[in-house]
Structure 1
């Protein structure tokens, strides 16, 4: 049945912060090397410059939220009511990429360096379980999850920029593993498409290779819960994944069929075909 990997949340948070601190200068160098900010990126309808602006605004926004800065009128930015998460994130993204003008876009590398360093500096003394209110999620996220999310944004959007600019970019397995362990349990639960999940019952054992986290993904009553280090239970199927590939599948940068074809995603257990339901249950902006 395999073993559950236990982890120290404080140690893993420090590793995630260290990984983010290591990725930031690589990201800054990439942005400074971009030959054409108006080139198409790996994100549909976004240019390379749009992706860079999104990253700079993400570090700015999350840093502001972690500091407890309540000066932003989020109600004026986000859709009213309790709409779907993908709709709220889409609205937030549209605002984010318009935050910086041409002069600021000419120095996106500097902006990412500045706001990324500020986030790390302002959160250095906060515990990983510190709760941060994130308006577009309409939830409080732990600082650990938020830091893992920023690491994932940096890695995946770095790839988007590199693809558009024709430049190299590497995502290391250890970096992807930290994102999957720190951020993915929270993100998967929040992004569950409640309409598609209605009437679905699924218990999936998600195993990340190379010593990565083991997550129990349970769908019932129109909701998804994702638990790390869950007590033993009976599962419908087991999904064994390579960390970098699963990160890219989760962010819709690699198709599932390709991951399966290359042996980076493998389903097993008594009802392995149910693993194909998981991507369908996650809403994406």
Structure 2
């Protein structure tokens, strides 16, 4: 099943692409110490470099006539990457970008954001682009992915340095609706590959929020597909988009999300959800 990307969604993700980039740039410009640790391994400067590299990669994706960003070794890793090995590609790319001056990185980030918006102004948002692990993602989904990266890593920096940062739920919803549903619809490639043998049991999970159209994701024999709501499902998830994204990227625990009622699980067989999430997962 393929869902149409509406004109409203395309306008929304383009607006969020620019606005979230500007908000991120404004926040990191106030950071007093770019060497401050944000995670166990990354400083503020490393985090900004990571996001800037993704923006540069997407500029390269929408301008295939330009010089490729990735060398042969990085391209090979890009094509075979799974959710569990994406950290290898991140490490390779960061090592290839020694620049850690935040001013230089932010200027490049904003320039790449504007170039993507310029090049794609009249593009079809459903145009499929080659993405990690030989997956396929619609153009609108690629933009939604960077919006989410800016939101998540902005959250990381703000939390570590006690700076203000908000994740608007409507903008957060773009990641689920345009990227996650988009990549599942058009082919996840090797992204979900694991050593675990596929289960015969079919697991259907319905997702619903105030900011997205209802959708059902189905895991069956190792394949994940998208279905329209209305049929039988094993579990139902009602979610706040920002909370779901933070949980999927391991920033907020499942128990905390449930206790705050930001994510509510129900249905006939909710105990099947952990098996589903072992395959439908993010780095």
Shorter-normalised TM range: 0.7 to 0.9
Give the aligned partner of residue 216 of structure 1.
Answer: 216
Q: Which runs of 5+ in 2 are unaligned?
A: none
Q: 1:10 to 1:122 in 2, by over 3 A?
A: same
Partner of 1:168: 164
1:1-285 equivalences in 2 (<5 Å): 9-41=6-38, 43-69=39-65, 71-72=67-68, 73-79=70-76, 83-86=80-83, 89-102=86-99, 104-134=101-131, 136-187=132-183, 190=188, 191-196=191-196, 198-199=198-199, 200-208=201-209, 210-227=210-227, 230=228, 232-285=230-283
Is contact 2:29-2:102 (8 Å) kept? no
Q: Alpha-carbon deviation of 1:173?
A: 0.9
Shift of residue 158, structure 1, vs aligned partner: 1.1
CA deviations 1:78-119 (Å, max 9, x no partner) are 556974513552232113323433464453222222222222
State whether residues 46 and 100 of structure 2, in contact with CA within 8 Å, keep that contact through their aligned partners in structure 1: no
Instruction: Mark the CA change 1:99 to 1:279 in structure 2 (over 3 Å): closer, same or farther.
Output: same
Q: What is the total number of aligned residue pairs between the two structures?
A: 275
Instruction: Give the whole-Å Cα distance in 2 for the aligned partners of 1:268 and 1:120.
Output: 40
Pair 1:48–1:160, CA change in 2 (3 A): same
CA 1:103–1:267 in structure 2 vs 1: closer, same or farther (change >3 Å)? Answer: closer
For residues 197 and 20 of structure 2, the distance between their equivalents in structure 1, rounded to whole angstroms, comes to 35
TM-score by length of 1: 0.86
Comparing 192-201 with 54-63, greater Cα deviation is found at 192-201
**Bigger mean CA deviation after superposition, 53-62 or 85-94:** 85-94
Assess, with a 3 A threshold, how the Cα gap between structure 1 residues 272 and 283 changes in structure 2: closer, same or farther. closer
Range moving further from structure 2, 257-266 or 68-77: 68-77
Asked whether the equivalents of residues 14 and 117 of structure 2 are also in contact (C-alpha less than 8 Å), the reply is yes
CA distance in 1, matches of 2:139, 2:109: 19
Structure 2 Cα separation of the partners of residues 22 and 81 of structure 1: 28
